[in-house]
Amino acid sequence: MSLDRSERQNEQNPSRTADAAAPPGRTPRPEAATPVPSRPHGGPAARPLPVGARGAAAPPPAYSAPPSSVRPEGPGPAGGSGSAPGPARLSAQPPAQDPAPVPVRLADTGVLELPTVLPAHGCWYPSADPTGDHVAYICDRAGVPQLWSGPAHGGEARILDADPDPVTEVSWSPDGRWIAYTSAPGGSEHTRVLVVRPDGTGRQVLAGAQPGASAHLGCWTRDGALLSVTIAQPGAAGAHSGGGHMPQDAGTGPGGSPLAAGWAERDPRNGHATYLGPPAPAPAPPQAPAPAAVGSGGGTAASGTGPPHLTPMPARAAVTPDGTPAAAGADAGGRLAVYLVDPDGTQAPALVFSEAGAASLRLCDIGADNRFVLLRRGPRGRREALLLDRFTGRITFRLAVADGDPWIGRLAPDSRTLWLRSDADREFAALLRARLDENGALEALSVAAEREESALDLLTLPDHGRWALLAWNLHGASELESVGLPGAEGYDPVGPRHRSPLPHEVVTRMAPVARGGLFAALSGSLRRPGIWEVTGDFAPVRTGWTATDQDAAPPGRLPVRPVPLRCRARDGLMLGGWYYRAPERDPGRPAPCVIHLHGGPEEQERPVFNPLYHEILGRGIDVFAPDVRGSSGWGRSFVDADLGTGRFAAIEDVADCAAHLVARGDADPLRLAVMGRSYGGYLTMASLVWHPEIFRTGIAVCGMSDFATFFAGTEPWIAQSAAAKYGHPEYDTALLRALSPMSRIDRLRAPVLAVHGEHDTNVPPMESEQFVRAARDRGVQAELLTLRNEGHDFLRADNRRLYRRAAADWLQQHLLPDRLGR
């Protein structure tokens, strides 16, 4: 199971390289004039959405933002007229329970010499400077994902930070003076945010340097002066702070300490576990009848029916689950807080928004006048966009948004239009246009761009707001297009549209350049990820420092291109996936096969080169990578099909996939294996104990073996989302016990290999340790591989190589014993 970290590993993040106005005292850079797609003169009008319908947005009745939210100095809009002053200097003192980030200056290294590089490597996560002449990105050429920079049109790339800490996010400031990035010290889940100048000087940790804290990137202000960061502060009691390893003398039975009540409740109407935030402060009397509330149950705030509002928690008013005030700093579930930080150090960090017991929180955009900010918050499956008016401290608009890429949208330059990637009241995410009044309240909501049976995966808009870049997900593969956006006046449809032929199957991130064009990170089934420049004719051109297709994969054996495969579950639900046939395998003969299960569970199997699959296929073993229920890419109903008791059906999906492969003649029924990572690791353990007669062996990677111990040991913000997905650790004790592989450990028959990162605080290592120990106690062959300096994701080349070779050796030992030693 993974949270925002799983979204980051997909290499998705918006560009913040648009043509912002130059800050005071700085000279704007000259830019070449580039034609902008003209607005259409005809075409169908945008389809309106009913305001207040399920998933549609309406402002809640005057909920207060945190009293400590930062407001610009000087008067706000008078009398609610909406006349907003211009940008102002920010100042605030955060409350005691939200300690502001303390920047830590690091030694200057300058631009470093090119290290020894791996023959096969990848580049991803591009972010361009304002001119589009240089690109910062992540590259694993030296064996670990690190921060690099290269010229857009040829020339040698250079490394900017050679520390061994893996880099996970990159964002170049709109004024070009700083490059911000996120790193994971020791490969742990506790990340920190750093900045460095393009010449390699001025490197400093902006947030996350304090013990026990974690931080990740938000957006830049449009002038590039301030960077938003989200800081996760652990709770004072009950929060996980260690490696989560099992004591040597511990027992092996199921059990664990339940966490405090107040996370989730069981909805008796549909059996789903739904997130329940802390009690909301009493709302001020509304000036007009409150429209319907946003939620997944169709209820209203006034009636009290349906799922509750996910209201922000006042930063100075922590409360216990029963609504009584708690002592300062006594949030057992931890707290997420968003700050604006000045890399130059001329302004103190300014608190924007804070929430106790939050599952996720990220600042996605700041309006040109610094008044309105767009936040994404909430647990998985119940994400929502919040528009915060920082002058009044009110949430003016909220809307359900899709899982996946955390960068959900942007404001138009005049802050009167909000463009969002949302699946509110629909099966597949689309581009929505929210028309706002001068106070940020919703006037109209409409669908601006949509596709049948295809979700909007990525949305990126430059600051000028004249066009948008859209990446659509068609059953795992991507389609890329650029669309012109209408101006503030009227409700004209978007267009014209320009589509780009892609040299590889999947777009993982887009970084636009304000003068036109973009840099796109592409992955494909025949190569490792790389970065292409998409020029004026919308034709992708590989950057000079991205490996060629021939050099991107290991030499000696070509990668296998998978074929899509559909199969029907026993209850009639159609499942999808990708089948990889081992080289030189006779297609008419059943083969040894492993079913590989992805994480999430909302991740999606996509046709990209996977070194693990490449290693397994080289041993003569086929791979089937399915999307069982709960996966993304097949519609909202498919994602929600595994909630609550639906988890049992997801376990059956694995068995149904195996039966389908055998019926087709692809897989040998006596040589079937199952493996997976994160949630896929849990599903692997569950499949082995639910269906011991099907699988000859299994490999569980970073999986949950017992939900009670998982909830007791994971990070508090991860537990919040997990409660919404699996069930509440107190209210749903019986369900969670029944779903836990440890509760059926006596049925385990097949040998199992468990793999875990030693610093994993998402799924603590104890989850693998107790499963392996229980298997051994019952006489079942079981081994544990612990990877040093790794967290929930394996990011170092040597550890990744060790893992995939150990996995392939294990599968070969149990599926192809006749080939051992040959």
Alpha carbon of 254 to those of 445, 718, 733, 772: distances in Å?
A: 49, 21, 12, 13
Residues of the chain with pLDDT under 50: 2-96, 236-242, 252-332, 821-822
Residue 43 pLDDT: 36
* 532/544 Cα distance (integer angstroms): 9
Residue owning tokens 């836990």: 740
Residue 221 pLDDT: 97
* 151/153 Cα distance (integer angstroms): 6
Residue 241 pLDDT: 42
The sign of the torsion formed by the CA atoms of 424, 425, 431, 432 equals negative
Residue 85 pLDDT: 31
Task: Indicate yes or no: pTM above 0.95.
Answer: no
* 507/503 Cα distance (integer angstroms): 10
- CA 43 to chain CA centroid, nearest Å: 35
- CA 74 to chain CA centroid, nearest Å: 37
Nearest to 763 by CA among 647, 678, 699, 676: 678
Residue 663 pLDDT: 96
| 3-class DSSP state of 662 | helix
With contact defined as beta carbons under 8 Å apart, do 651 and 680 qualify? no
Over residues 69-104, the pLDDT tens digits come to: 333 333 333 233 333 333 333 233 344 455 788 888
With contact defined as beta carbons under 8 Å apart, do 524 and 476 qualify? no
CA angle 21, 25, 28 (to 5 degrees): 40
- DSSP secondary structure code for residue 86 in this structure: -
Alpha carbon of 767 to those of 5, 256, 270, 707: distances in Å?
A: 19, 11, 30, 9
Find the farthest-apart pair of alpha carbons in the chain and give their distance in angstroms, rounded: 82
* 168/184 Cα distance (integer angstroms): 7
With contact defined as beta carbons under 8 Å apart, do 213 and 191 qualify? no
- 247 burial via Cβ count (<10 Å: 0-12, 13-18, 19+): exposed
Question: Per the structure block, which two tokens stand in for 704?
Answer: 């949950």
Residue 273 pLDDT: 31
* 807/748 Cα distance (integer angstroms): 19
Question: Per the structure block, which two tokens stand in for 468?
Answer: 């948008």
Residue 308 pLDDT: 23
Q: Report helix angle 679-690 to 646-664, nearest 10.
A: 70
Over residues 537-548, the pLDDT tens digits come to: 778 999 999 988
